[in-house]
Structure 1
């Protein structure tokens, strides 16, 4: 057999030729920078890379242009103007100051002409900020404050103290201030090792300005790469065959520019579209529900509300939850959604669509939202007792949470059922939660349950079909109905939430059962099957140290749970019926048919877990004495 020649390198020849051509073009010396020396007011010796706008062509670099306005050297930076105090060519730094502070008298300063953070210093490709720069912030308060780091600005404040402006050097914490306060502006300031500087010291620091660095030894040009030495000479990166090739391939280079440049621009536009599309969608959703949202917050409000995200109280599939404090002292839960590109903004959109429309005592309440650039944040009611899973008794020892009694568990189950019933029947459309589990049931100070986390929720038109298809499930598999997991078992219905709620009821009883039993076994059985076998044979749940009422409650929770997890969707009750069953006497409840199966989606690794949340129990357990 004759092997054909390897021609895999042939498609790369045009690219290699183009790269060689562009390198050769870059090799030619372009020009010798003209050395100029200019002055403006008290600033003298303005030379390369800086230039005045009135300098002849060839002096300095046009990217580093300074205008002379009323004998004041002025630099255009970050959409604003700053006066130049001095330029240090040895350290390659330039010190600039806000015009409001440049000519301030010795007794008072005004507000900065524009607000600028330290992080924003690096957004200009020509300059870079220094770690030594810190922020000085201005806030307005409707009352006097006593925090030591804030200094009152006399000339910007009323004499009666009802409307005062305060300045803080290196500190920005609104949440700790007395009285309603609002953020005004911030400005970079040079760092000085001084603890709690006085108002006069802060004023002097603001008048000094802040430092920026530059580096222009090398910079890109459209199809070349030029470098300037500290002596301002331009030299080529490659001198190999430069003159000959540049003259031969000049026309080819010109064509390449007009071919490659549109491709680069087109690719950039596609990338920009993909990265901003979901951000635009979330803005549209917020605007659409603006009449239903209590308040819109800025991201600066969120930072102040959470004290710079200091107290983390939870983390979910779509984001992280922090404890926050409103200006009036009220506590809130601040849910910061994750990467909008990675998550496609889905969780934020779903939560806004659902919570903004639902008002029920057993559904968490939305207090406000923030949708600013890539920041998507929900401000919710704060639940001091956390999530239900912490209060379900289990085999875990050393927990600081006291398990709820069976009477309390019944009330929690009933409240949760009412909340889900309202989602299914109390709105124009049936709202499928799709992620019912103990972690998504929050408890307020009186242990009243609140259904939360609607990141996976779906809307279903009551007047349309009774089902709709869904992609790969992303909820906790222990609570997911069989029809959601298998394409062969049907589509998703409102009764899929019923299945998840049934698993939650059985989890409550299982936790109480395990807390009062002990024993060891090499094998495990599925808890719902164990319950069904015992109850169908006329037995009880073998709970120890419980009253007759508590035993009846446990049986009722199990029977209702078994009805909810029926394999056949049509045999499961609607949530309205579930609420009715929980409200009535459990002695009259009949066991459902034995029509539930072992969850095949639970892996062998899950079967070996000791977690009671798997709804698995030892096959033989000796009750504790």
Structure 2
């Protein structure tokens, strides 16, 4: 045996000794208690500092004894509870709080990534959402009692379920404090709280009068049932010895075959191609990552790409050839609705003109979205810059406009449900290496049935300047897919107006209102040739302008569908007719076509929609 073989053999012996220790380890996990009348602690639970962590407990099932010999379980955000009883058959843990007031700590408890979940024995483990209200002493309610540990004689506090009838909630005499999601009904007035777990399924062993443990040599957290009173002593050692011998022989066989057969160059190339295919296939569906994965992918959040109101975007790398953009969402921004919208919507979308969601992270309070990386930034960079070197050319702008229109048409008609984006703007149009457009940021999106002609909204959503009039006020019509078409029309006009000569007398470009200026040019038959050097380019600019003006008609019924918009953009533009003047009803003074008009501040009556 040469030196290299001797090293391999020594490594195998060390591995076998580890297996022997693991096999014997099951016998070193006795049942323990923090005190005589405390709950019995055995697998899947483990008592810290008293039992080895390699095999005595399942990950996340660690308990410890405090200085008063109470059995303590630590929940997320360092919320500590005292374990009173463990029902191994039913997978239930009964816990209490140190000051007997779980409602005071419920905001800090998030079990989304924890092995334990809330359980409600009264209504068969059904959990509800609640709103907590601070009320006056005269509050008349027969649907709920005050929460004892949060209330005082002057300020009773009530918890109302999201399923409560609105008329039973005394809104006028109460002030909402905050909301909590998915909690049991008895958390408000009981000193006890029950938690349950789904994995590992040790209850089936307990029912048979047996105990539960890890399988010997298992690396996938597989468990098995065993009777501690049987199969002790010699028989266990025989099984362990046979297992060790089998592994040893298998290792020797693999080692021998490794030296007998060598992979040639073709086999290595095939293997590399297979690995790349598996990596690409894995990225086709959204993957759930832990926060540790996110930090690894982004190299500890080192390369920052940008920052917005809801989070910061970092560049990341899944492999040597696959780059991603990781958006770390702000912890205290919003109530999670945008995150749910983004994952729920983009996870089902597969279109060449829509950014692909590679994965997401929902690790406690930490949330992140992982997108495909697009190297050419957003469309805003190329239509608002005064640098002529950043101009893409009118043919490319036409291709980008058509790609965006096809992406929106897919959202409106190509999915199982109609998806309304509600935030179409240049900043949310990203460009790949070939400057192909992709729609991004679905945080404000709404899903509805394809045959649904209107959607209900409780508040305006979108970006000022791109929001359709009906989103502000029903006086203009119902909110529908036509609202996205209005935003797209403004985007088209910005693509055209962004290339004009800016008036040096105007203090800031934000004061220039392009749409009416462009309409006046076209209405006076000047088209855009005077502002575009090539006549062919002028035809493209004119076509984009006319389509944009059709899309921004004030009343939704006057706007074309996105299918018609795509047809208009695919045509040559010779047969396009001028739309009605969308500014005729704004009571504005006609401006000179050679001078852009300043943006007008118009106040609209906002109608609250609560249905």
Q: TM-score, normalised by structure 1?
A: 0.51
Write the distance in 1 (CA, Å) between the matches of 2:309 and 2:396.
28
Partner of 2:367: 376
**Highest CA radius of gyration, 1 or 2?**
1
Helix, strand or coil for the counterpart of 1:496? helix
Could you tell me which of 246, 257, 263 is aligned with 2:149?
263
Write the distance in 2 (CA, Å) between the matches of 1:328 and 1:112.
39
- Work out whether 1:80 is the aligned partner of 2:67: no
Partner of 2:432: 444
Write the distance in 1 (CA, Å) between the matches of 2:374 and 2:549.
30
- Work out whether 1:387 is the aligned partner of 2:378: yes
Partner of 2:558: 571
Could you tell me which of 487, 491, 494 is aligned with 1:504?
491
Helix, strand or coil for the counterpart of 1:479? coil
Q: Report the count of equivalent residues.
A: 365
The ranges of structure 1 where at least 4 consecutive aligned residues each deviate by more than 4 angstroms after the TM superposition are 53-57, 110-116, 123-126, 220-223, 259-262, 264-273, 275-278, 521-525, 542-545, 597-600, 614-617
Write the distance in 1 (CA, Å) between the matches of 2:505 and 2:334.
43
Matches within 5 A, 1:149-298: 262-264=148-150, 274-277=179-182, 293-298=285-290
Partner of 2:324: 332
Write the distance in 2 (CA, Å) between the matches of 1:111 and 1:474.
52
- Give structure 2 stretches of 5+ with no counterpart: 1-31, 37-44, 68-97, 102-144, 161-175, 184-281, 589-595, 601-611
- Work out whether 1:554 is the aligned partner of 2:440: no
- Supply the RMSD in Å over aligned alpha carbons: 4.5
CA 1:291/1:518 → structure 2, altered by over 3 Å: closer, same or farther? closer
| Alignment deviations for residues 530-569 of structure 1 (CA, whole Å, 9 cap, x no partner) | 2112211211225446211111111011000000001121
Could you tell me which of 321, 329, 354 is aligned with 2:313?
321
Report if aligned partners of 2:284, 2:358 keep a CA contact under 8 Å in 1.
no
Report if aligned partners of 1:391, 1:401 keep a CA contact under 8 Å in 2.
no
Report if aligned partners of 1:80, 1:114 keep a CA contact under 8 Å in 2.
no
- Give structure 1 stretches of 5+ with no counterpart: 1-52, 58-76, 84-98, 101-109, 127-219, 224-258, 279-289, 603-611, 618-625
The Cα shift of 1:411 comes to 0.9
Partner of 2:418: 430
CA 1:125/1:500 → structure 2, altered by over 3 Å: closer, same or farther? farther
Partner of 1:421: 409
Partner of 1:456: 444
Helix, strand or coil for the counterpart of 1:488? helix
CA 1:597/1:317 → structure 2, altered by over 3 Å: closer, same or farther? farther
CA 1:327/1:82 → structure 2, altered by over 3 Å: closer, same or farther? farther
Write the distance in 2 (CA, Å) between the matches of 1:54 and 1:462.
60
Report if aligned partners of 1:441, 1:451 keep a CA contact under 8 Å in 2.
yes
Partner of 2:593: none
CA 1:480/1:615 → structure 2, altered by over 3 Å: closer, same or farther? farther
CA 1:114/1:262 → structure 2, altered by over 3 Å: closer, same or farther? same
The Cα shift of 1:588 comes to 1.8
Write the distance in 2 (CA, Å) between the matches of 1:405 and 1:441.
17
Write the distance in 2 (CA, Å) between the matches of 1:269 and 1:508.
52
Write the distance in 2 (CA, Å) between the matches of 1:275 and 1:221.
20
Write the distance in 1 (CA, Å) between the matches of 2:294 and 2:33.
46
